[in-house]
Structure formats: C-alpha cells, structure tokens
Amino acid sequence: MNTDLFLIGVDGGGTGTRIVLADAQGRELAQANSGPSGLGLGVERAWQAIAAGCADAFGRVGATFDWSRCVLGCGLAGVNNRDWLSAFRAQAPSVAGLAVESDAYTTLLGAHGGAYGVIVALGTGSIAAAAERDDGDCRTVSGYGFPSGDEASGAWLGLRAIVHAQHALDGRGPNDDFAQALLAHVGARDRDGLVVWLCEANQTAYASLAKIVIAHRAHPFAARLLGEAGLEIGRMIAALDPSATLPVALCGGLAAPLREFVPQAYQQRLREPLADSAHGALQLAQREAARISGRAF
C-alpha cells in the first residue's frame, strides 16, 4: 500500500460533518468538524463542507492538505437518491480513491464492527439498518427523507413541535412556556414572523427544534411527540429483526435523549455502539485503499 496516502472517514448529515484522518495504516491522526454535507442540501455545499473539515484535520497535525494523496470513505445522508449520488461523484476533486455509501451503512460498520446487528441512526434525519451475518448485506428501513419520512428524527420532531406554537399564536392552544421557547428559538414574536420562518425553514432548521422538545419533555404535547418517536423506533427495529434476537445500537445525536422512550420490549437488546459513523467511514476508506492497491484488506 502507498504509505504516502492518507485515509479519511467522512460522516455527512444535514446538521454537520465529522472527519477522521488516519495514515495509510489506518492509525488515527486527527478529527475535525464542519458544516452539513447531506446531499439533500446540495452537492456543491457537501463538497465544500468535506473540504473544510479535511483542511482542518490536516492543519491539526501540521500536514499539507492534498486531495491527490487522500482516500475517502464517505457515509452520507441522501445517497439513496441516485441523481444526487451521481452528481456528488461527478463533482469530486482529484482524490486517490473514493468510496461512497449511505450514512446508515457506515453507522452500522462503526456500531457493530461489521458484525450482525441493528442500528437506528437518529439525528437531523433517521434511518435504521441491519447487517446480514453471512454476506454483509445492509438492509434499511425508514430514511425516505424530509418531510414525509425520517421518523423520530430531529426534523420529524421539529416539524410537529412547531404546530404547538402555531396553535398558541392564534388561540387554538395555550401560549405556555413550551410555545414561548419554540417562538424564541425561531425568532418569531407574532404570526407574521412565524410565517416568515416557516417559509424559509429547511430540514436543518426544523431539526434545531428537537432540543426544545427534549428540554420540555414533561409538557403534554412534547411528551406525546417523544412517545410517538419511541414507538417509531420500535417499529424500525421490528421490521429489521422479526426474530427479536439481534443487538440494537441507537446512534446519532438524538440516541441518548430518545433511548428512554423506546418501548420496554426492546430495552434489553439496546447496546452502546462500538464506534461512530465517521470511524465506520474510515473502515470504508481502508477497504478502498486496499482495493486500489491490489491487496486484500
């Protein structure tokens, strides 16, 4: 294997991008973060965020950032849209190697180390996946995207939570602390101000409301939403593992706060992930480096 190469794991979602930089042997050198690189927000924006994160990681170790020496493994939200994936590959810089999979796949690699298991990734969006022990296939459920899918995600919670603020403003519901917190977060003082925010809000903006929901978990409206999120997580697990025997890892920024809302029937199977999606993507980069060097990894 070319020892002059660098391996880079990229975990790209709708809220941010995480980078893991390693040497040619897979020894981790640095980590970095940058803006969102989920493909639904635009391919050009995705590459800009990835480049910014990579440059930051190289800077942390005092190395020169050179695309031609980089093998990238990317786990990105939105690659299930074939047009977006094709455009992403077409706009790639002149890298030494590039492997692109869904963030669900790299999350699965990281969480279970490639072993048999289920993951439910809960962040700006959501998706669940299961590894097949014999052939390494990855089966997914959910992940259809905002606004119709991605149940139990940050954007899914935010899209529903803002309804409480709408009702408060026009008298259909109480103008309570939860409503006021939502309105303060979006910077709206009245109906017209909220309409302006709604007309401009994207997946990331709605996902930013999830923390308001969690902070007001005792509020009846928020409690109902969180309970529904837990039920949706249970449905994902059941769809992927009818045998009810596989270990399950909740992953992503909402994994910890939503864990308690997962139905009791699944609680005993929950496990902490071994590693995150960025490190799963680094495994992808290692495989790609081995492939282009003609050696088995």
Task: Specify whether 104 is located in the same domain as 211.
Answer: no
Helices and strands per DSSP (H, E), number in the chain:
12, 10
Mean pLDDT of 87-92: 96
Residue 283 included in any domain: yes
Q: Return the pLDDT at 80.
A: 84
On whether both 99 and 239 belong to a single domain, the answer is no
Q: Using an 8 Å Cβ cutoff, are 84 and 40 in contact?
A: yes
Please indicate, yes or no, if residue 261 is contained in any of the structural domains.
Answer: yes
What CA–CA distance (Å, rounded) separates 64 from 69?
10
Instruction: Clarify whether residues 152 and 222 are in a common domain.
Output: yes
256 and 129 belong to one structural domain = yes
Per-residue confidence (pLDDT) for residue 231, from 0 to 100:
98
Banded pLDDT at 134 (limits 50, 70, 90):
very low
Q: Which residue has the tokens 């980089």?
A: 70
Give the pLDDT score at 296. Answer: 41
Q: How far is the C-alpha of 215 from the C-alpha of 234, rounded, in Å? A: 22
123 with 85, same domain: the answer is no
Q: Is residue 1 domain-resident?
A: no
Same domain, residue pair 101 and 37: yes
Residue-wise pLDDT tens digits, 3-39: 689 999 999 988 799 999 999 999 999 999 999 999 9
Same domain, 185 and 73: no
Q: Do residues 10 and 63 both lie within one domain?
A: yes
pTM: 0.77
pLDDT in tens, 33-62: 999 999 988 999 999 999 999 999 999 999
Looking at residue 15, what is its pLDDT? 79
Instruction: Please indicate, yes or no, whether residues 63 and 178 belong to a single structural domain of this protein.
Output: no
Residue 9 phi/psi, 5° resolution?
-100, 130
Tokens 């709708």 identify what position? 14
Give the mean pLDDT of 68-87. 94
* 11 assigned to some structural domain: yes
For residues 273-296, average pLDDT: 87
The yes-or-no verdict on residue 1 having pLDDT over 70 is no
Interacting residues of 42 by C-beta distance below 8 A, sequence separation 6+: none
Q: Region 164-182: what's the mean pLDDT?
A: 95
Is 183 within the bounds of a domain?
A: yes
Q: Is pLDDT at 282 greater than 70 in this prediction?
A: yes
Identify whether 64 is part of a domain: yes
The verdict on 264 and 221 lying in the same domain is yes
**Confidence bin at 2 (pLDDT 50/70/90):** low
Verify that 120 and 41 share a domain, yes or no. Answer: no
Give me the residue label for tokens 């042997």: 25
Closest CA to 13 of 214, 155, 160, 209: 155
Specify the pLDDT at position 175.
94
Expressed as residue numbers, the domain containing 252 is 115-273
**What share of the chain has pLDDT > 90, as a percent?**
79
Q: How confident is the model at residue 77 (pLDDT cuts 50, 70, 90)?
A: confident
Mean pLDDT of 210-236: 98
How much is the average pLDDT of 118-132? Answer: 89
Q: Report the half-sphere exposure of 99 (CA within 13 A, side-chain side).
A: 21
CA atoms within 13 A on the CB side of 288: 23
- CATH, residue 95: 3.30.420.40
Q: Which tokens is 172 given?
A: 């259909």
Task: Answer whether residue 87 shows pLDDT above 80.
Answer: yes
Mean pLDDT to the nearest integer, 95-124: 90
Q: What is the pLDDT of residue 10?
A: 98
Same domain for 257 and 128, yes or no, is: yes
pLDDT of residue 174: 92
Into how many domains does the chain fold? Answer: 2
Look at residue 103 in the predicted model and tell me its pLDDT.
85
**What per-residue confidence (pLDDT) applies to 171?**
92
Judged against a pLDDT cut of 50, whether residue 86 lies above it is answered with yes
Residues of the chain above pLDDT 70, percent: 96
Q: Is the pLDDT of residue 154 over 60?
A: yes
CA 53/CA 41 separation, integer angstroms:
17
Q: Residue 181 pLDDT more than 90?
A: yes
Q: Which amino acid is at 285?
A: A
Question: What is the Cβ-side half-sphere exposure of residue 175, based on CA atoms within 13 angstroms?
Answer: 8
Q: What share of the chain is helix, strand, coil (3-state, %, to 5)?
A: 45, 20, 35
Alpha carbon distance 123, 121 (integer Å): 6
Long-range contacts of 147-150 (CB under 8 A, 24+ apart): 147/203, 147/206, 150/125, 150/126
Cα 177 from Cα 191, distance rounded (Å): 17
* DSSP type of residue 15: S
